[in-house]
């Protein structure tokens, strides 16, 4: 049986750079520049942009301008503007700021939850119910982003049953969609397909997504594995810029799947996804230049059919001279 038969009819893409990327930089990107970059990222054809996190300014100082960013970005009708919220206060701020969707953060690992949100998992899960009630009162959707769904930097491998039980809890809390996150970028295709296989067998109509970091280089393989079991929503970050705020320095930059590499794969495989590859490539190039990121993805390093053929033609031309 060919995997081609199992591919989704349409993949929904979420651009994460403004939250996962800006969050991990040591330096504060000025609000003007953030707004320009977010506005550019909103024109690439991705369905959704996670444009900031409404977190306490002391917890994530690089995103302390969340309210101002929300007020100043251009809102396009064809883009869903989502923000991460670690708690009810954050959700209230986000909704006051006019987001379309909040991403309520829950982590499976008790240790990581304590370090990242300074509370217990039970407290976080209880608050998700309050976030759902408040958001739905205001006509705003709620996604639950499930951090450390596979591995935790403090606890190691996460028991699959724990992850599944957290999914059950947030579904019971009434969230509109659930995203499993490979916070450490260490999951493999078998783990990914098994986890989603079990989630979807219990909750067949649940809107599920995958948030991938790429520490082990398997993020495109994991994307492929997830698609074959029915996952059709993926987070990605232009230039792969992303990372965790409570990780040690060496690990703080565990990048996301680069949006440009993901869109190239989907397009070349013929999986419709809404994004315009040329526009994604161009915005990624600009972002890499503005933020001094070098060539952090295969696409930006020239790994496309068009760039390879151009390089050869240029070289052949030189030889003629």
Instruction: Measure Cα distances from 286 to 45, 139, 216, 239, 279 in Å.
Output: 17, 35, 26, 10, 11
Q: In the bound complex, what is the minimum distance in angstroms from residue 149's beta carbon to a copy of itself?
A: 15
Residue among 236, 224, 229, 221 at smallest CA distance from 277: 236
Tokens of 38: 């977010």
State yes or no: residue 202 binds a copy of itself (CB under 8 A): no
Query: Quick one: residue 28, left, alpha or beta (phi over 0 = left, psi -120 to 50 = alpha)?
Result: beta
State yes or no: residue 251 binds a copy of itself (CB under 8 A): yes
Q: Angle at CA 56, nearest 5°, toward 55 and 58?
A: 125
How many chain residues touch a copy of itself (CB under 8 A)? 57
State yes or no: residue 247 binds a copy of itself (CB under 8 A): yes
Q: In the bound complex, what is the minimum distance in angstroms from residue 198's beta carbon to a copy of itself?
A: 10
Question: CB-wise, 116 or 228, nearer to a copy of itself?
Answer: 228
State yes or no: residue 309 binds a copy of itself (CB under 8 A): yes
Asked if 47 and 274 touch (Cβ cutoff 8 Å), the reply is yes
Q: In the bound complex, what is the minimum distance in angstroms from residue 195's beta carbon to a copy of itself?
A: 11
Question: CB-wise, 80 or 216, nearer to a copy of itself?
Answer: 216
Q: Mention every residue, 6+ apart, whose C-beta is less than 8 A from residue 316.
A: none
State yes or no: residue 281 binds a copy of itself (CB under 8 A): no
Asked if 79 and 47 touch (Cβ cutoff 8 Å), the reply is yes
State yes or no: residue 151 binds a copy of itself (CB under 8 A): yes
Tokens of 57: 């300014």
Q: In the bound complex, what is the minimum distance in angstroms from residue 301's beta carbon to a copy of itself?
A: 8
**Pairing between β-strand 233-236 and β-strand 207-212 as defined by DSSP bridges:** parallel
Q: In the bound complex, what is the minimum distance in angstroms from residue 7's beta carbon to a copy of itself?
A: 8
Ramachandran angles phi, psi of 130, nearest 5°: -65, -40
State yes or no: residue 84 binds a copy of itself (CB under 8 A): no
Residues that bind a copy of itself (CB under 8 A): 1-4, 6-7, 151, 153-154, 156-157, 184-186, 188-191, 193-194, 197, 214-218, 220-221, 223-225, 228-229, 247-251, 261, 264-265, 268-270, 297-299, 302-305, 308-309, 311-312, 314-315
């Amino acid at each position: 049986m060919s995997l081609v038969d199992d591919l989704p009819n349409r993949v929904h893409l979420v651009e994460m750079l403004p939250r996962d990327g800006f969050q991990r930089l040591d330096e504060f990107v000025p609000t003007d520049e953030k707004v320009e970059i977010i506005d550019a990222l909103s024109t690439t054809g991705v369905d959704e942009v996670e444009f900031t996190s409404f977190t306490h300014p002391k917890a994530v100082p690089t995103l302390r301008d969340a309210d101002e960013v929300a007020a100043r970005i251009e809102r396009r009708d064809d883009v869903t503007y989502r923000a991460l919220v670690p708690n009810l206060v954050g959700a209230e701020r986000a909704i006051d700021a006019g987001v379309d969707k909040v991403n309520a953060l829950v982590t499976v690992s008790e240790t990581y939850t304590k370090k990242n949100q300074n509370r217990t998992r039970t407290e976080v899960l209880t608050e998700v119910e309050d976030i759902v009630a408040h958001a739905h009162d205001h006509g705003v959707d709620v996604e639950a982003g499930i951090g450390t769904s596979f591995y935790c930097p403090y606890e190691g491998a996460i028991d699959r049953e724990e992850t599944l039980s957290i999914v059950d809890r947030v579904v019971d809390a009434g969230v509109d969609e659930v995203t499993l996150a490979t916070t450490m970028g260490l999951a493999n295709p078998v783990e990914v397909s098994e986890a989603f296989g079990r989630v979807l067998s219990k909750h067949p109509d649940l809107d599920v997504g995958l948030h991938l970091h790429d520490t082990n280089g398997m993020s495109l393989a994991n994307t492929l594995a997830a698609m074959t079991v029915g996952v059709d929503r993926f987070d990605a970050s232009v230039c792969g810029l992303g990372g965790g705020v409570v990780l040690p320095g060496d690990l703080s930059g565990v990048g996301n799947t680069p949006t440009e590499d993901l869109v190239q794969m989907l397009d070349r495989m013929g999986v419709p996804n809404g994004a315009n590859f040329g526009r994604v490539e161009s915005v990624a190039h600009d972002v890499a230049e503005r933020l001094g990121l070098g060539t952090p993805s295969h696409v930006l390093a020239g790994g496309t059919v068009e760039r390879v053929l151009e390089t050869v033609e240029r070289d052949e031309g030189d030889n003629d001279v």
